[in-house]
Amino acid sequence: MFRKQFVNRLYNVGAATCHEFVRLFSTQPGQRLEGKVALITGAASGIGKATATEFAQNGAKVIIADIQDEVGKEAARQLGPTADFIHCDVTQESHVAEAVAYAVSKHGHLDIMYNNAGVPGPIVASIADVDLSDLDYVMKINVRGAIIGMKHAARAMVPRKQGCILCTASIAGLIGGVAPHPYSISKFAIPGLVKSVASELSQHGIRVNCISPYAIATPFALEGLRQLFPQTSEEELAMFLDYCGEMKGVRCEVKDIARAALYLASDDGRYITGHNLVVDGGFSVMKSFRLPT
């Protein structure tokens, strides 16, 4: 009897999994975030822009929040009538509060808050040389900015008992030695912040997660690498990032992070909270010794 029940349960699980695969592959763009409203900071370029595009293609109304006014307005124009731009400096709490208020006043609610804005900070070789003003600057944007976003998103989401808050972390917050100390410290803080806030907001049906990407050849990453290798071209820097990765034959791109954000923001990730989704091709879990080819 037990064996029969066990076999039936396996069959049911397998059938449910197959059904889910069929559903995912048959889902047309414009359905997975249909009716959702998303506010994304640092969305004028890079990961933020790719995520705004992915969200919009899946039916979300998107507010691009950034300090890059002209670039941000152009990004919103490219996405069409479901996207808007608002100037937002995440170090200014009033800016974030106004961005959240704008989303709610225009669309009636806020479903997704993606705290993506960040800075690499200056290159510092030794902890003995760290300028604390530089540390304060990086922490103010990368950590304090995320906290402000969480604070005002929570105020909008708690009354509705639903919502999703995301943050961009980094592999630099998983292992040491891959980024300057101020940046690494700020990104180590993000998963802890996510767990702390998730422990509260889960009681209101709100999910809080973060994504830790591998280094991608965006203007953000290249800015930091160029400080280390000022005579190296962008193409060579991109090749360097590819060589350091563990997953050969695949280059980590902004669309990979955008799709991870889509998964966490959609109903596909409805029972995931307090999680750090690492998108690094195994970089943080394995190291292989090989000569350049």
| Given the residues 45, 49, 61, 183, the one annotated as active site | 183
Residue 191, number of CB atoms within 10 A of its CB:
21
Sign of the CA dihedral with 153 first, then 156, 159, and 162 last: negative
Pair 113, 165: CB distance under 8 Å: yes
CA distance 81 to 88: 20
Task: Find out whether 281 and 256 touch, Cβ atoms under 8 Å.
Answer: no
CB 64 within 8 A of CB 75: yes
In one-letter notation, the amino acid at residue 90 is V
Q: In the chain, which ranges are continuous DSSP H helix?
A: 2-26, 46-57, 69-79, 93-107, 132-139, 145-157, 181-201, 219-228, 234-244, 254-265
Q: Which residue has the tokens 């000022």?
A: 230
The active-site residue, picked from 45, 170, 186, 212, is: 170
**What's the rounded Cα separation, in Å, for the pair 282 and 279?**
8
Q: State the catalytic residue, choosing from 36, 49, 61, 187.
A: 187
Residue length, the chain?
Answer: 293
Pair of tokens at residue 8? 């039936």
161 catalytically annotated: no
271 in catalytic set: no
Residue whose token pair is 């990004």: 75
DSSP-assigned letter for residue 178: S
d(CA 224, CA 207): 32
187 tagged catalytic: yes
Catalytic residues: 170, 183, 187
